[in-house]
Amino acid sequence: MSFGAQFLSAPRRLSAGRERDPWGDASVALHLVGGPYLFSGLSREQEAAVRERFAGFCSPDRDPARAAVECRVSRADADEFLAFDVRGWEMTLDFDRSKEAVSVAGLDLMARIEWRPALSAVVWTATRGGAGFVGILENVFRVLAAYRLLEIGGVLLHSTAMAREGGAWVLVGRSGAGKSTLARLGVAQGGAVLSDDLNALVPSRTGFEVEGVPFAGDFRAPSSQTRTLAGIGLLEQGSRSRLTPVPRARALAGVLSCAPYVNQDPHRLDSLLCNADRLLSAAPVGRFTFALGADVWSCLGEPVLA
């Protein structure tokens, strides 16, 4: 199936019409790791919906010159998107990746991410506002954040990040690995969760820092919260709670398989490998299994890792 065929009536028409009208002159700047991210070209209705959804991340500074990444929203016609029955449909995005750009198609959206002159994006949609519009923007924002983190030496990981005292542990695992269950357990035992779905890891002067991002998950980051990275655990099914050493190659494989969007981009794989290598050198890494009712914090505190 060619790019966008599931979602777009004429994929080439949308990408060719890049200079279309914006929805309006409103904008929102979001202060998130790798940002600020400026979303411009919004109508007042769209702006209000985005502000409500990302309330804890809104920044008063909306100067495009100070934005690290700009995402412009443009109008598209409703008949440019294919209507289909979404009952039982699991949200997916379609990608077309090249050295210069990444095109994204999804339900009522198409976007193009470019690196020149700086990382930026254009989103085309026919959705006027409300929750539907926020969902569209969020779908693009997740992808954009993953590429931005890659650009600054970091990585976005499917994970639960939690902390009790001091630094945060990042427990990496794909859907069904137990991220949300573990997060609930960690909170019940006196800890705090940054996010139980996606967390950003970025290099700092002393190693790496963790920041929860406000996308999916039961525990969404309400605002920008940064912690020093204490360690990384690869979540696996197990009958008892423990943290055990894991060979470096398996740790790298675990991290790569949980780095959404960018891990399927052949043009940026070397950057991902480089960032993941650096991440694994900066913190202890182990295999983490947990049992319901066990004290997860005492396991994470065990000095079993080099």
Binding site for other proteins (CB under 8 A): 247-250, 252-253, 256-257, 263-266, 269-270, 273, 277
Contacts of 222 (CB under 8 A, 6+ apart): 56, 214
Nearer to other proteins, 44 or 174 (CB): 174
Q: How many CA atoms does the CB half-sphere of 152 hold within 13 Å?
A: 20
Six token digits for residue 117? 């002159």
Nearer to other proteins, 86 or 249 (CB): 249
**125 contacts 136 by C-beta, under 8 angstroms:** yes
Using a 10 angstrom Cβ sphere, with 0-12 exposed, 13-18 middle and 19 or more buried, the burial of residue 99 is exposed
Find the shortest distance in angstroms from Cβ 251 to other proteins: 8
Nearer to other proteins, 264 or 298 (CB): 264
Find the shortest distance in angstroms from Cβ 258 to other proteins: 10
Nearer to other proteins, 170 or 258 (CB): 258
Find the shortest distance in angstroms from Cβ 69 to other proteins: 25
Nearer to other proteins, 126 or 273 (CB): 273
Task: Measure Cα distances from 109 to 22, 72, 93, 175, 177 in Å.
Answer: 14, 13, 9, 24, 30
| Residue of 34, 300, 306 lying closest to 168 (CA atoms) | 300
Find the shortest distance in angstroms from Cβ 272 to other proteins: 9
Find the shortest distance in angstroms from Cβ 54 to other proteins: 30
Find the shortest distance in angstroms from Cβ 169 to other proteins: 22
Cα 31 from Cα 54, distance rounded (Å): 10
Other C-beta atoms within 10 Å of 198: how many?
26
Nearer to other proteins, 58 or 252 (CB): 252
| Residue of 290, 189, 281 lying closest to 244 (CA atoms) | 290
